[in-house]
Amino acid sequence: MFFATIINLDLLAFGPTGYGDELFWGLLLTVQISVLAYALGIFLGLCGAMGKLAGGKWLKNALDGYTTLFRAIPDLVLILLLYYAGTDGLNRMLVSTGLGPVEVNGLVAAIFVIGFVYGAYSTEVMRAAIMAVPVGQIEAAKAYGMSPFLRFRRVTLPAMLPYAIPGMANLWLNVTKASALISVVGFTELALATKQAAGVSKLYLMFYVFALLIYLSITLISNQVFGWLERRVRRGQAKLA
């Protein structure tokens, strides 16, 4: 009878009586934010790493500032700052150019904020991976007269992937976990959906355990995927001990 006051599995059902569908939509948003923010992070990381390795003095200093600052300020603070400042700044810019203010979609803002924060971490991972590619291979590609783009696609990218994948796998897990922080600006992804369901039903323990298990399964599935990916990009390489 005591357990009846803390557990009621019927509330996990879909439909108007349960919170299953609310949590499911929350999970979908979490995955959506994570995937898109991660893609943005990878793109920024590649650009940042290229800039750091091949750019001029000013670009290098600017990128150093970006990666140092963004890795020294807590995610939560950055998310709050960028979420408000980013949407506000965009609107001010649009007003000054005469286009008028726009309502910035919260989802897009969330994706950009997390993407920018994790772009800084991704820059460092990518930079280390590119630097791990033997210089001779890139020089050989240059000697064949490959254009920079072809050189990147055919030589640098395939050669750097084995060094980048473990770091990028870690980063993906961090992005999925950081997506929970978006709940602080009032965005109803999985964490906030859980908090609301728990608050209304008063079954705090059950809902939090359930949400944690969902997050855990995201991690475990991701581990499998990245394990497969790493084996694939390492095919043909000698096994490490």
Give contact residues for another protein (rule: CB under 8 A): 2, 5-6, 69, 72-78, 80-81, 84-85, 88, 173, 176-178, 180-181, 183-184, 191, 194-195, 198, 202, 204-205, 207-209, 211-212, 215-216, 218-220
Q: Which CB sits closer to another protein, 159 or 192?
A: 192
Q: Are the C-beta atoms of 137 and 159 separated by less than 8 Å?
A: yes
Tell me how far, at minimum, the Cβ of 218 lies from another protein, in Å.
8
Q: Which CB sits closer to another protein, 2 or 149?
A: 2
Tell me how far, at minimum, the Cβ of 212 lies from another protein, in Å.
5
Tell me how far, at minimum, the Cβ of 143 lies from another protein, in Å.
36
Look at residues 162, 190, 28, 181 and name the one whose alpha carbon lies nearest to residue 117: 181
DSSP characters over 209-229: HHHHHHHHHHHHHHHHHHHHH
Tell me how far, at minimum, the Cβ of 160 lies from another protein, in Å.
23
Q: Which CB sits closer to another protein, 24 or 208?
A: 208
Tell me how far, at minimum, the Cβ of 124 lies from another protein, in Å.
12
Q: Are the C-beta atoms of 189 and 183 separated by less than 8 Å?
A: yes
Tell me how far, at minimum, the Cβ of 199 lies from another protein, in Å.
8
Q: Which CB sits closer to another protein, 94 or 185?
A: 185
Distance separating alpha carbons of residues 85 and 109, to the nearest angstrom? 10
Q: Which CB sits closer to another protein, 5 or 96?
A: 5
Q: Which CB sits closer to another protein, 13 or 209?
A: 209
